[in-house]
């Protein structure tokens, strides 16, 4: 299980329909709220789905 914090940038396994696969985490808890860095679309995922879809955290 990975540790996630608000404002972390994560790379998802599958790209968003806009073509971007980098998301910024806006909310962490039972649900994750993330914003696509390419088109600024926001999505909500359950913690379980988010952990399955995240490939890795982007290091700054």
Q: Which residues contact 45 (CB under 8 A, 6 or more apart)?
A: 31, 32, 34, 53
Confidence class for position 59, pLDDT limits 50, 70, 90: confident
pLDDT tens digits, 8-53: 999 999 999 999 999 999 999 999 999 999 999 999 999 999 999 9
- Side by side, the strands of the sheet bearing 22-27 are 42-46, 31-36, 22-27, 9-12, 54-57
Give domain limits for the chain: 9-57
Is the predicted pLDDT of residue 1 greater than 80, yes or no? no
Comparing CA positions, the residue from 29, 40, 39, 35 lying closest to residue 12 is 35
Residue 25: predicted pLDDT: 95
User: Which conformational region is residue 19 in: left (phi greater than 0), alpha (psi within -120 to 50 degrees), or beta?
Assistant: left
How much is the pLDDT for 60? 63
Let me know: does 55 contact 16? Beta carbons within 8 Å: no
């Amino acid at each position: 299980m990975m540790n996630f914090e608000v404002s972390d940038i994560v790379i998802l396994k599958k790209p968003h329909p806009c073509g971007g696969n980098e998301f910024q985490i806006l909310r962490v808890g039972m649900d994750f709220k993330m914003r696509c860095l390419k088109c600024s679309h926001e999505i909500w995922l359950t913690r379980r789905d988010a952990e399955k879809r995240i490939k890795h955290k982007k290091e700054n």
